[in-house]
């Protein structure tokens, strides 16, 4: 029986990775098709990040922004999650922009004076009724620029 478990564990891991990869691909496809138009009049720069998150989970992505360029950051979530919280911070964690779920702002437009790396931090609010089923949904971070 021990030998069977050893064979079963790698198979389960491979199956979990395939399912996870498929969910991520579906999330990316959903986000691109649904939310890219919201970047207009900014041009989508193909800088795209998406994650499957559940209430109470968070994610962070570092992005590079170039001197003199105007940008729009768009953060959206699948309706099953509701609104998410997100903020843009600099290298010293100074908050440059913040959107909270109770007063959501999906986009932030800005121009950088010098090339720098900024972080987008996203977190899904906890569900008030913990007896309900936990839902996982897609959260996307898209970046656009002005030509």
Q: What is the CATH number of the domain that holds 48?
A: 2.60.120.380
Burial 86-106 (b: 16+ CB within 10 A, else e): bbbbeeeeeeebebeeeeeeb
Among candidate residues 136, 146, 147, 141, the one with its CA nearest the CA of residue 62: 141
**What is the predicted pLDDT for the residue at 129?**
63
Q: What are the pLDDT digits (tens) for 30-70?
A: 777 888 999 999 999 887 788 889 999 999 999 999 999 99
Query: Which letter does DSSP use for residue 37 in this model?
Result: G
Q: What are the pLDDT digits (tens) for 97-137?
A: 999 999 999 999 999 999 999 999 999 998 766 566 778 89
What is d(CA 115, CA 101) in angstroms, rounded to the nearest whole number?
30
Number of domains in the chain: 1
Q: Which residues contact 137 (CB under 8 A, 6 or more apart)?
A: 52, 53, 54, 77, 78, 79, 80, 81, 124
What is d(CA 97, CA 107) in angstroms, rounded to the nearest whole number?
10
pTM of the model: 0.79
Q: What is the mean pLDDT of residues 16-35?
A: 67
**pLDDT above 50: residue 1:** no
**Enclosing domain of residue 22:** 2-145
**What is the predicted pLDDT for the residue at 34?**
86
Q: If phi over 0 gives left and psi between -120 and 50 gives alpha, with beta otherwise, what is residue 95?
A: beta
Query: Which letter does DSSP use for residue 38 in this model?
Result: G
Q: Are strands 95-99 and 43-53 parallel, antiparallel or unpaired?
A: unpaired
């Amino acid at each position: 029986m021990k030998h069977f478990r050893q064979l079963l564990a790698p198979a389960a891991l491979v199956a979990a990775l395939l399912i996870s990869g498929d969910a991520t691909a579906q999330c990316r496809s959903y986000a691109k098709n649904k939310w890219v138009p919201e970047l207009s009049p900014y041009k989508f720069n193909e800088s795209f990040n998406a994650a499957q998150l559940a209430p109470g989970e968070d994610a962070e992505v570092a992005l590079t922004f170039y001197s003199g360029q105007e940008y729009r950051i768009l953060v959206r979530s699948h309706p099953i999650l509701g609104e998410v919280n997100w903020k843009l911070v600099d290298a010293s964690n100074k908050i440059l922009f913040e959107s909270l779920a109770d007063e959501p702002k999906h986009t932030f437009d800005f121009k950088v004076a010098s090339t720098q790396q900024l972080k987008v931090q996203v977190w899904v609010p906890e569900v008030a009724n913990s007896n309900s089923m936990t839902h996982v949904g897609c959260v996307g971070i898209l970046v656009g620029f002005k030509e």
